[in-house]
C-alpha cells in the first residue's frame, strides 16, 4: 500500500428536512412490527431465534416523529477519511451513517447517496432516511440511534494514522457499542470494527445489521455464497427459496423483482462472509466481514408502482433507484442472539469495490459467478484478517480529539453506577463525559444527588431507578415515572396504581394516556376512550397525543369518539398531514364519505407514513369506489401493477 490517508473534520451544506424534538410520550405501546410467521421446515435454529428477545415496548426511548417534507440547506458536521483509492464521509450527528463512499480513481460512488435527507417513518423511533451505510442495533428494525448523534472522536490508528471512533449507550438493551472506522494508506477497502459490550451481569438479546444502499440499474447483480435464501411471503410466512428462480424471476438482478423482496442468504456456518453488488458501469460494492457477522441479505423495493412510489418518497430530489445489501449477527432479521452477562462481541467489516470479472459475474452460470467471486475476493479477506487484528488491539486507546458529543444517557448511567457501587460502562477508549448530560438527564441526576425527583421530560428503566423513585418524596412526577417503569416491564396493575395515584395528586395527560394504553391492552375500549378523552382535555395542543388517541379509537371502532377529539383539538392545520388523514378516516366511518373524499382529492401528504402502510389507498377505494387510486397514494410494495388500482 502506498500514499497517505487524510482525515478532515468539517461542516458541509446539506439539504435536509426539518427534524423537531422527540415526542414527550414514552414509547410504552407494543411495537408496531411487520408480521412474520416462522415455522418448520425453516431450520429450528432460526425458529428459536425468532421466538427470543422481542421487546414489549421501546421504552425508555421516545418517538422522533416531528418532521415534514420541506427541505432546506443546513450545516451538517462530517468526518472525511480519504486515501488515494477511496473517499469516505461519515455523519456522526445522524447515527454515524457512512454517507458517501467513492472510488477516487473513477469519481464514482460505491453507495447510493441521495441529494437530500428526507425523513420517513421506517425506524424503531419513526424517523429514518435513505442512503449510505447504516448501523442497526437493539431489535428488529432501523436503529433507535439512526437519527441521533453519537459520541465521536479521533484516535491514533494502528499504522500511526487516524481512526474515527463513534460510540453510544444503546438504552433498550443497555449495551455499549463502538464503531472504529479505518482507511489505511493505499487500501481499496474501508474497515470498520464494531464492538458491543454488555455491562450487565444478565444476558441480553442482541441484534445487529449493517445496511448498505446501492444504486440500482438494470445491469446490477447481487452475488452471495449460497444457493438458497429465506424470504418473507406476502402473508407473513417465511420460506426457503432459490433467489435465482423466484417465481420465474432471477432476483439476483434486483431490478427484475416485480414487487418488494427480501432474501436472507443461507450461508453455511464455515463459509466466508460476503455479499457483493456487481455492475459493469459502476464500481459496485462488496461487504466482507469476520465470522461473527453471519447473516447476508438482499432487499429490493421492487419495480411495481408501490416500490417506485417509495423510492420517490425517500428520494424526493432525485438520485435514482436503490436497493440494499446487508450483513447481520443472526442468519435472518427475525432473530435475536444472546449476549451473555459481562460479555463482548466484536467483528470487522470491509467495504470496497469487488473488482470481479464482469463476463463471469454477470454471465448465465450463477454458480460459476459465485465461485469466481469467492476466488477473487481471497486477497481482500487476507487484508480483512490483518485489519481485524490491528483494530482489536486499539479499542481502549484514548481519543486525542473530540469530534461530537452524543447523548448524556451514558454519563448518567456512569453516575448511577458509581452511586450503586457498580462497575463503569465506559473506559479510556469510549468515555461518557460528565459534561454530556443535559436537560433530559437533569431530573435523574438530581434524584441521584439529592434523593428528590422533579421532572417529566424523559423516562428511564431499571430496578435501581425504581427503588430510588420509591425512596424519594412521593409526588405526581415520581408516580408518573414509577408508572412508566412498571408499564414498560409489563407490570400492568402496578403501573395503573401509580398512574391513578399521580392523577390524585395532580392530573396529568401522561397519566391518563398510560391508563388508556393499559385499557387498550386489556381490551376495555370504553375505559381507553374515557382515559384518552381526559388526557387530550388536559393538552389539546399535543399533536403526538391527539394522533395516538385518534388512531387507537379508530382501530377500536370508535370513530364518533375519534371525530369528537379532532373537533376540539387545538393543533395547527388539523386537515393536513397525519391528522388530516385521521380526520378523513373518521369522516368516512361516521357516514360522511364525501367530506373524506374531498380531503383526499385536495391532495393529502402524510409525512410519517409508515413502511408497509397502505391505509390511504384503502381509504380512497372506500370513498371513491371504482376510481383508480392516484399514484401519490400507492405505497403497497406488494403491488406489481398487474391488478386494479
Q: How far apart are CA 285 and CA 88, in angstroms?
A: 13
> What would the pLDDT profile of 545-558 be if each residue is shown by its tens digit?
999 999 999 999 99
Q: Is residue 312 part of a domain?
A: yes
Whole-number pLDDT of residue 644? 52
Closest CA to 329 of 297, 376, 369, 362: 297
Q: Is residue 132 part of a domain?
A: yes
Residue 542: CA count within 13 A, CB half-sphere: 22
Q: How far apart are CA 29 and CA 520, in angstroms?
A: 9
User: What CATH number does the domain containing 94 carry?
Assistant: 2.70.98.10
DSSP state of 625: T
Write out the three cell numbers for 380: 481482500
Closest CA to 480 of 526, 524, 538, 422: 538
Q: Residue 237 burial by CB count (10 A; 0-12/13-18/19+): exposed, middle or buried?
A: middle
Give every residue of the chain whose pLDDT is below 50, as ranges.
1
Q: Are 380 and 386 in contact (CB under 8 A)?
A: no
Whole-number pLDDT of residue 248? 92
Question: What Rg do the C-alpha atoms of the chain give, in angstroms?
Answer: 25
Give the residue numbers spanning the domain of 267.
6-392
Closest CA to 59 of 172, 135, 211: 172
Q: Is residue 437 part of a domain?
A: no
Q: How far apart are CA 230 and CA 345, in angstroms?
A: 25
Q: Is residue 440 part of a domain?
A: no
186: left (phi over 0), alpha (psi -120 to 50) or beta: left
Q: Are 390 and 148 in contact (CB under 8 A)?
A: no
Torsion angles phi and psi, residue 219, rounded to 5: -90, 0
H-helix segments, 451-576: 463-471, 476-488, 492-505, 509-522, 525-538, 543-555, 559-568
Q: Is residue 407 part of a domain?
A: no
Q: Is residue 68 part of a domain?
A: yes
Q: Are 166 and 152 in contact (CB under 8 A)?
A: yes
Torsion angles phi and psi, residue 514, rounded to 5: -60, -40
The count of structural domains within the chain is: 1
Dihedral angle, C-alpha 73, 75, 77, 78, nearest 10 ° = 40
Longest dimension (CA), the chain: 75
Q: Residue 338 burial by CB count (10 A; 0-12/13-18/19+): exposed, middle or buried?
A: middle
Closest CA to 467 of 454, 453, 455, 456: 453
Q: How far apart are CA 196 and CA 146, in angstroms?
A: 16
Q: Is residue 478 part of a domain?
A: no
> What would the pLDDT profile of 2-15 be if each residue is shown by its tens digit?
578 999 999 999 99
Q: Is residue 137 part of a domain?
A: yes
Whole-number pLDDT of residue 2? 58
Amino acid at each position: 500500500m502506498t500514499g497517505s490517508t487524510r482525515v478532515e473534520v468539517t461542516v458541509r451544506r446539506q439539504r435536509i428536512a426539518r427534524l423537531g424534538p422527540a415526542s414527550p410520550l414514552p414509547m410504552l405501546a407494543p411495537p408496531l412490527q411487520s408480521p412474520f410467521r416462522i415455522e418448520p421446515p425453516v431450520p429450528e435454529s432460526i425458529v428459536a431465534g425468532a421466538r427470543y428477545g422481542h421487546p414489549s415496548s421501546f421504552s425508555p426511548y421516545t418517538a422522533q416523529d416531528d418532521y415534514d417534507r420541506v427541505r432546506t440547506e443546513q450545516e451538517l458536521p462530517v468526518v472525511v477519511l480519504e486515501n488515494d483509492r477511496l473517499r469516505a464521509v461519515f455523519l456522526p450527528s445522524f447515527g454515524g451513517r457512512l454517507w458517501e463512499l467513492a472510488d477516487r480513481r473513477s469519481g464514482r460512488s460505491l453507495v447510493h447517496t441521495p441529494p437530500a435527507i428526507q425523513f420517513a417513518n421506517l425506524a424503531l423511533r419513526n424517523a429514518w432516511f435513505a442512503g449510505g451505510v447504516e448501523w442497526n442495533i437493539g431489535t428488529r428494525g432501523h436503529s433507535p440511534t439512526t437519527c441521533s448523534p453519537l459520541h465521536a472522536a479521533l484516535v491514533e490508528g494502528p499504522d500511526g494514522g487516524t481512526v474515527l471512533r463513534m460510540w453510544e449507550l444503546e438504552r433498550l438493551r443497555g449495551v455499549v457499542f463502538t464503531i472504529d472506522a479505518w482507511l489505511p494508506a493505499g487500501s481499496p477497502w474501508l474497515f470498520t470494527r464494531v464492538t458491543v459490550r454488555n455491562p450487565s451481569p444478565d444476558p441480553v438479546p442482541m441484534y445487529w445489521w449493517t445496511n448498505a444502499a446501492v444504486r440500482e440499474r438494470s445491469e446490477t447483480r447481487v452475488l452471495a455464497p449460497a444457493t438458497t435464501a429465506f424470504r418473507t411471503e406476502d402473508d407473513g410466512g417465511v420460506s426457503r427459496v432459490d433467489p435465482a428462480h423466484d417465481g420465474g424471476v432471477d432476483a439476483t438482478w434486483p431490478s427484475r423483482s416485480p414487487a418488494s423482496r427480501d432474501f436472507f442468504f443461507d450461508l453455511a456456518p464455515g463459509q466466508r462472509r460476503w455479499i457483493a453488488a456487481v455492475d459493469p458501469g459502476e464500481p459496485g460494492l462488496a461487504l466482507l466481514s469476520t465470522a461473527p457477522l453471519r447473516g447476508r441479505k438482499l432487499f429490493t423495493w421492487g419495480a411495481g408502482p408501490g416500490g417506485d412510489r417509495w423510492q420517490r418518497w425517500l428520494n424526493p430530489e432525485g438520485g435514482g433507484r436503490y436497493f440494499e445489501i446487508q450483513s447481520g449477527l443472526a442468519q435472518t432479521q427475525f432473530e435475536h442472539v444472546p449476549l451473555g452477562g459481562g460479555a463482548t462481541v466484536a467483528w470487522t467489516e470491509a467495504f470496497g469495490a469487488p473488482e470481479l470479472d464482469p463476463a463471469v459475474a454477470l454471465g448465465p452460470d450463477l454458480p460459476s459467478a459465485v465461485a469466481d467471486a469467492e476466488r477473487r475476493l481471497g486477497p481482500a479477506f487476507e487484508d480483512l484478517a490483518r485489519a481485524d487484528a490491528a483494530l482489536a488491539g486499539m479499542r481502549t486507546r484514548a481519543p486525542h480529539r473530540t469530534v461530537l458529543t452524543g447523548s448524556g444517557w451514558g454519563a448518567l448511567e456512569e453516575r448511577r453506577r458509581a452511586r450503586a457501587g457498580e462497575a463503569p460502562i465506559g473506559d479510556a477508549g469510549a468515555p461518557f463525559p460528565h459534561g454530556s448530560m443535559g436537560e433530559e438527564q437533569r431530573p435523574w441526576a438530581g434524584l441521584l444527588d439529592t434523593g428528590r425527583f422533579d421532572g417529566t421530560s424523559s423516562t428511564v428503566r431499571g430496578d435501581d431507578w425504581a427503588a430510588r423513585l420509591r425512596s424519594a418524596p412521593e409526588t405526581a412526577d415520581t408516580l408518573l415515572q414509577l408508572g412508566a417503569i412498571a408499564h414498560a416491564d409489563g407490570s400492568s396493575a402496578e403501573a395503573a396504581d401509580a398512574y391513578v395515584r399521580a392523577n390524585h395528586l395532580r392530573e396529568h395527560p401522561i397519566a391518563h394516556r398510560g391508563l388508556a394504553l393499559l385499557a387498550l391492552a386489556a381490551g376495555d375500549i370504553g375505559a381507553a376512550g374515557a382515559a384518552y378523552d381526559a388526557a387530550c382535555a388536559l393538552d389539546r395542543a399535543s399533536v403526538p397525543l391527539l394522533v395516538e388517541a385518534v388512531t387507537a379509537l379508530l382501530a377500536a371502532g370508535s370513530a364518533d369518539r375519534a371525530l369528537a377529539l379532532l373537533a376540539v383539538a387545538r393543533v395547527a392545520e388539523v386537515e393536513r398531514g397525519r391528522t388530516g388523514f385521521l380526520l378523513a378516516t373518521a369522516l368516512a366511518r361516521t357516514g360522511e364519505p364525501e367530506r373524506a373524499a374531498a380531503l383526499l382529492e385536495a391532495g393529502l401528504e402524510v409525512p410519517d407514513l409508515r413502511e408497509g402502510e397502505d391505509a390511504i389507498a384503502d381509504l380512497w377505494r372506500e370513498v371513491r369506489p371504482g376510481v383508480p387510486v392516484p399514484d401519490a397514494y400507492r405505497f403497497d410494495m406488494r403491488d406489481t401493477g398487474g391488478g386494479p388500482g
